Structure 1
Amino acid sequence: MGPRGLLPLPWAQWPAEARLVLGFVALWSLVGVLVLTSASWWVAEREMGDGAFYVKRQVIWMVASWGLLYLGISTNLRRWLRLAAPALLIGGVLIAATLVVGSTVNGASRWLVIGPLQIQPSELVKPFVVLQGAALFSHWRRIGIDQKLLWIGVFGALILLILKQPNLSTAALLGLLLWLIALAGGLSLRLLLGAAAAGGLLGTASILVNEYQRLRVTSFLDPWKDAQGDGYQLVQSLMAIGSGGVLGEGYGLSTQKLQYLPIQSTDFIFAVFAEEFGYVGSVVLLLFLLLFGFVGLRVALSCRSNQQRLVAIGCTALLVGQSILNIAVASGAMPTTGLPLPMISYGGNSLLSSLLVAGLLIRCSLESSGLEAPRRRRRERQPAPIG
């Protein structure tokens, strides 16, 4: 039994879906470290004097993130749901703080520097958006209008603060995530269409107000028009993907990562992967995401409560959806955004968030198998205290 008795069954009694998710996450993490090693080595050697600079830092974050995954697995989902509301409010305060004292990179204030650490609150808040979204929409028909308005207002303020950084991609991802959880929760089509229209108008307004977002959209439509300017990132990414051919150049043999492709270790790391592993490797990655999504939905279907089911759907949608959006950006199917590829892109905040989400998904699978029942029965058999 795990810490404080929170892992009621040994590995052999885990449901198949929980084992599969854990195996997929372990494989995903391992491949992520290998891809990052290839993508970052040359630049790290040139800029830091140590080719393993980024990889060593990523491995440290990976160890911490797997500890968080274990915490997600071993802690009762009800505790996470109780923690969601205060964590979301604290996250909102930290996001607001980035607008005042945040570190600005490429025109966006998304980070808080605390000693040697850079914290990106908009990444860390994602698991708690899933949890609080599930808590709200699973009880939507049973709560009062005041509670509905309060949490819709909190979610709206959170998205507006992220837009103000500005970070359109994360704001859009969180808005879409909440919309999908609400859809799965059975909200009326009229409310969902109204929310979608409001989100579309908000995104359009953000693009019109922020020049750099507007330039990204126009460069996406025709990146070759300004291939040395605003379209440079996408042009170099498309060249990397095209250079991979059918089978790829081979691991470690990408040429676009040699300071031709910008931000090759984070937002455009898929382009390096595609160049080295080609069309076949890219299809295998997409099939992996499809399989992960299928298993995640199997977990959701097996859940006994609506709340658990919505958490499982939200976790699956976040990991798979963010991956698809990142790949779509790198391949020119969407305007350039700042979303990392979960468990592959360099960055400790993204790792912590992604692996906690994976831990929550596994926890949903464990609880769907009734793992809490044996513990309750043992308590019931204990004699009542005397006196």
Structure 2
Amino acid sequence: MATISEPAAKPSRDPWNAEARWLRWLTLIWLVLGLLMLFSASYPVAQRITGDGLYFFKRQLLWAGLGLGCFWALVQIPLRRWFPWVGILCLLGVGLVWATQVPGLGVSRLEASRWLDLKVIPVIQPSELLKPLLVLQGSWIFGRWFHHPPWFRILWVVIFAFALLGILAQPNLGTTAICGLTLWAMAWTAGIPAFTLLATAGLGILAAVVSILSKDYQRRRILAFLDPWGNAQGDGYQLVQSLLAIGSGGLWGKGYGLSQQKLFYLPIQYTDFIFSVYAEEFGLAGSLFFLGLLTFYTLLGWRVMGRCRELTIRLVACGCLMFLVGQSLMNIGVVTGVLPTTGVPLPLFSHGGSSILAGLITAGLLVRAAREAG
């Protein structure tokens, strides 16, 4: 889908510079912490549903192993080798996103059809797997914006919009928002003209408003966000239970494995609301530790972006940071009541094979960008 005409950036003298090493270890710490929390948060519900308290944990371990294999492979492969092929992969990813709307292929859960059953492989969530592909293709498109012919630029802007509409149609407003914000941040970093950025932002906001107005459950979520205690046994139940979990954690928490809210009070406690269980068990101190990890991760990512000589590599780092740290902050905002409830997982924490695989692939791309910076 693309050809490379510019010379590759000179490799760093140290293929594993300080930023790459720190990002690698922080990713592994983040992953281990997430697996420990998944074990704690999922054990009671897994025991009740399947009779095996380790059911969800074992599945997550398998996907984490696959993700680590991808992570290690990606940190070894120069990013420029992906650019000629990622356009095709991105189109395939967009096709899979829209395939969730096909009866017999799409799998519906919790009023949404976000999963795909291809029969020959486990059920996947295409919107999660699309994220690293959007980073790579967005980096190539925006990083060489003024080198591409106008028709090529327009074509890919339309394709990106079609991808976002496919995610919104599932419906999955949270993932649509984080994907749109990531592409927008990459375009801004690349120096795309302000008029284009403002126009796309306006269209994105309009699409979100139309989606909320046309989906009854999304309107109810907004109302529950504004006053969760007003309907604590109805639409506000999820958020109220989340706030109770976080508040009961106190300063130091109740201790690992001792959360009370995960015992069938807090719904989906091992997926989108796993941070509530973490905050209850480790308290304010543990929450600040995790936020500190995200802050350090962000500072390292910014340093990588500042050292990148090649714009496309800088945009890869930007997109990866948005998906890893930006999505984490969005998830934490939801469970703490700062943002309306949306189905956005906490990267490397929440249960889900596609989510943890996409998270580790994205982290691998970031570490590779760090190795090529300087």
TM range (shorter): over 0.9
Shift of 1:12: 7.9
Q: 2:101 aligns with which of 83, 99, 102?
A: 99
Q: 2:303 aligns with which of 298, 301, 306?
A: 298
Q: Kindly indicate whether residue 184 of structure 2 is the aligned counterpart of residue 179 of structure 1.
A: yes
Q: 1:341 aligns with which of 337, 346, 362?
A: 346
Deviations 1:9-52 (A, max 9, x none): 9x985100000000001100100110111101111111111111
Q: Aligned letter for 1:213?
A: Q
SS at match of 1:140: coil
Q: Kindly indicate whether residue 232 of structure 2 is the aligned counterpart of residue 227 of structure 1.
A: yes
- Superposed, which structure 2 residues align to 1:313-352 within 5 Å? 313-352=318-357
Counterpart for residue 3 of structure 2: none
Q: Distance in 1 between matches of 2:338 and 2:365?
A: 30
Q: Distance in 2 between matches of 1:149 and 1:91?
A: 19
SS at match of 1:229: coil
Q: 1:198 aligns with which of 198, 203, 210?
A: 203
Check conservation: 2:86, 2:133, Cα contact below 8 A: yes
Contiguous gaps of at least 5 residues in structure 2:
1-10
Distance 1:12 1:151, change over 3 A: closer
Q: Distance in 1 between matches of 2:295 and 2:86?
A: 28
Q: Aligned letter for 1:162?
A: I
Distance 1:13 1:205, change over 3 A: closer
TM-score normalized by the length of structure 2: 0.94
Deviations 1:325-344 (A, max 9, x none): 00000000001011110001
SS at match of 1:266: coil
Q: Kindly indicate whether residue 69 of structure 2 is the aligned counterpart of residue 70 of structure 1.
A: no
Q: Distance in 2 between matches of 1:275 and 1:81?
A: 43
Shift of 1:142: 2.1
Q: Distance in 2 between matches of 1:76 and 1:316?
A: 19
Q: How many residue pairs align between the two structures?
A: 362
Structure that is richer in helix per residue? 1
Shift of 1:307: 0.6
Q: Distance in 1 between matches of 2:111 and 2:38?
A: 25
Q: 1:114 aligns with which of 98, 113, 118?
A: 118
Contiguous gaps of at least 5 residues in structure 1:
1-8, 370-387
Runs of 4+ in 1 over 3 A off after TM superposition: none
Counterpart for residue 255 of structure 1: 260
Q: Distance in 2 between matches of 1:67 and 1:192?
A: 37
SS at match of 2:117: strand
Shift of 1:148: 1.2
Q: Distance in 2 between matches of 1:161 and 1:316?
A: 23
Q: Distance in 2 between matches of 1:45 and 1:134?
A: 44
Q: Kindly indicate whether residue 31 of structure 2 is the aligned counterpart of residue 26 of structure 1.
A: no
Q: Kindly indicate whether residue 174 of structure 2 is the aligned counterpart of residue 169 of structure 1.
A: yes
Q: Distance in 1 between matches of 2:231 and 2:82?
A: 48
Shift of 1:114: 3.1
Q: Distance in 1 between matches of 2:142 and 2:51?
A: 51
Shift of 1:239: 0.5
Counterpart for residue 85 of structure 1: 87
Counterpart for residue 126 of structure 1: 131
Whichever of the two has the greater Rg, that structure is 1
Q: Aligned letter for 1:106?
A: L
Q: Kindly indicate whether residue 293 of structure 2 is the aligned counterpart of residue 288 of structure 1.
A: yes
Distance 1:44 1:137, change over 3 A: same
Check conservation: 1:293, 1:317, Cα contact below 8 A: no
Distance 1:367 1:12, change over 3 A: closer
SS at match of 1:111: strand
Check conservation: 1:181, 1:313, Cα contact below 8 A: yes
Q: Distance in 1 between matches of 2:292 and 2:283?
A: 14
Q: Distance in 2 between matches of 1:256 and 1:263?
A: 11
SS at match of 1:118: coil
Q: Aligned letter for 2:202?
A: A
SS at match of 1:334: coil
Shift of 1:82: 2.0
TM-score normalized by the length of structure 1: 0.91
Name the Cα RMSD after superposition. Answer: 1.6
